[in-house]
Structure 1
Amino acid sequence: MFAMRQLYSLLVGSTFLLSLTACPLVEPVDRVPLPSYKPLLMARTQLEQAVAVLPPQELHNTGKIYLRDPYILINEQYQGVHIINNQDPSHPQPVAFLRIPGNVDVAMKGNLLYADSGPDLLTFDLSNVRAARLLHRVREAVPELPMPETAQVPAEYQVQNRPADAVVVGWQKL
């Protein structure tokens, strides 16, 4: 009985292996090259001085949306936050643009807006959205901005080849 099972297993295994040799060969697929990105850098002093409330700007590369009745806050990737009055949803009115270099994320609690600016975490008082005030900056509170997709960074743009005071505020596809 044991010898019959071994013979049966050998027969099934051999048949399987022979059937594999009858399969047509598959052509190798060319690998798609990964895109390359370079970091957009800003000197720390320039980053800290660039935060400002500006007149409304055009929407171009939007990200996250936050609703704080009657306002809508819309992230402009790596640039800042659009503030829009949505009291009349059929006619939203742009109010201001809060320039925050390196911004990709926002959150609110009460009148406080929390936003990243490159590696820093900023707190704004939005009790008057037309005159938003920066209350506090925590340096190096969040990790460096990641690239927008799986990609590669050419050697000349690697961390070790950047100026010491440089902060990543965005990424540009090469």
Structure 2
Amino acid sequence: MAQFRFDWPALAQPSVVNGALPSFIHVIIMSCLTAAITGLSKNSYWKIPATWLLINIGFELLQLKFVAISWLAGTFNLLDIVAACLAAALTGFYLNFQQNSNRRTSAFSIGLQLPIVLIGSLGITGSLIIDNCEYPNGKRTSCEVKPLYMPWDKIRKRNQVYFSADNANTETQSAINEGALIREYQEIHTPGKIYLFNDYLFVNDRFKGIYIFDNTDQTNPKYLAYVSVVGATDMEVLNGVMYVNSFTDIVAIELASPFSYQRSENLLPYPNAENWLPSNAYFSNKGERIEINENKGMVVGYEIKGGKRFFFWDVEL
């Protein structure tokens, strides 16, 4: 059952062992415990492990995608069934040896058999319930999530300054005449920091860029330009240069012609994206917990079992 995970990096064992070992152990332990309580009789040496094998297979099959039982958050794994079959076979041979050697274990009251079955079943379902997280859409499913990366080249190649053609500012008009890009005002989706510098007003559209307004008439600011900066949440102006964060980078834009745009990479620390996941959720790949690969880009969200995606911010991949 893929819900149980063992983290023994020093042993460097194959990942399939980590995933299938719990199923193997469960069949052996519950079969031996059942035999110890009920005692061994004719043919029980194979009936007991076979029963626990069927219970394990049943719960494993309930984790198939098309079954879609919401509280079973595990992931179907054929290796779990193979491990359970192997455990049942080994336990059967062991119990047969015990029976042939007349090493009978004392039998407890038959009234204890049902609680034992229930305990064994809960041993399976307990991990399924624990490995079950609630997501922003209100649904509960596996706590294993896949990180969604925005590649660095997509973040760092959007180095553009756009100007409005519909204003009387001489510097912006001069830039347009020299071939600068034109973009008229668009709605600010997620307003962030607001900054005043001389007669200019700067408004951060969070994680997208900075809008610049002529604030000479404070009752009616005029849109002048837009600076595209993916990941922007803060800004500062010093000596006529605007500095903006871009996730882990710092972007510097001159506020006069030629409005040069320069980027300094990796000046800021990479954030711990797991802090933004729902409680108990973690990044995983094929059932194995993983660390974020910073070389792939910035983690901007995650994908849960079933393919549903959630983003930390209003961004586009």
TM-score by length of 1: 0.64
State the shift of 1:127 in Å.
Answer: 1.7
2:279 equivalent to 1:171: no
> In the alignment, what sits opposite 2:248?
119
Alpha-carbon separation, structure 2, partners of 1:164 and 1:71: 37
Write the deviation string for residues 53-94 of structure 1: whole angstroms up to 9, x where unpaired: 132321121111110121100111100101011111121111
> In the alignment, what sits opposite 1:160?
291
Write the deviation string for residues 113-172 of structure 1: whole angstroms up to 9, x where unpaired: 1111111011111124xx63213x22111123577x965384347872557321246724
Q: Which has the higher contact order (CA 8 A, sep 6+)?
A: 1
* Larger strand share, 1 or 2: 1
Indicate the SS of the match to 2:161.
strand
Residue from 140, 143, 157 that aligns with 2:269? 143
- Tell which structure's C-alpha radius of gyration is larger: 2
> In the alignment, what sits opposite 1:50?
158
> In the alignment, what sits opposite 1:41?
149
Give structure 1 regions of 4+ aligned residues with deviation exceeding 4 angstroms.
Answer: 33-40, 156-159
C-alpha contact 2:147 2:283 (8 A) present in aligned 1: no
> In the alignment, what sits opposite 1:28?
none
C-alpha contact 1:40 1:171 (8 A) present in aligned 2: no
2:229 equivalent to 1:100: yes
Unaligned runs of 5+ in 2: 1-133, 138-144, 163-182, 301-310
Alpha-carbon separation, structure 2, partners of 1:65 and 1:98: 14
Alpha-carbon separation, structure 1, partners of 2:241 and 2:250: 12
Alpha-carbon separation, structure 1, partners of 2:206 and 2:237: 18
> In the alignment, what sits opposite 1:133?
260
C-alpha contact 2:242 2:254 (8 A) present in aligned 1: yes
C-alpha contact 2:276 2:312 (8 A) present in aligned 1: no
Matched-pair identity in %: 23
Unaligned runs of 5+ in 1: 1-32
Indicate the SS of the match to 2:291.
helix
* Alignment-mate amino acid for residue 159 of structure 2: V
Indicate the SS of the match to 2:195.
strand
Query: Number of paired residues?
Result: 137
* Larger helix share, 1 or 2: 2
C-alpha contact 2:149 2:296 (8 A) present in aligned 1: no
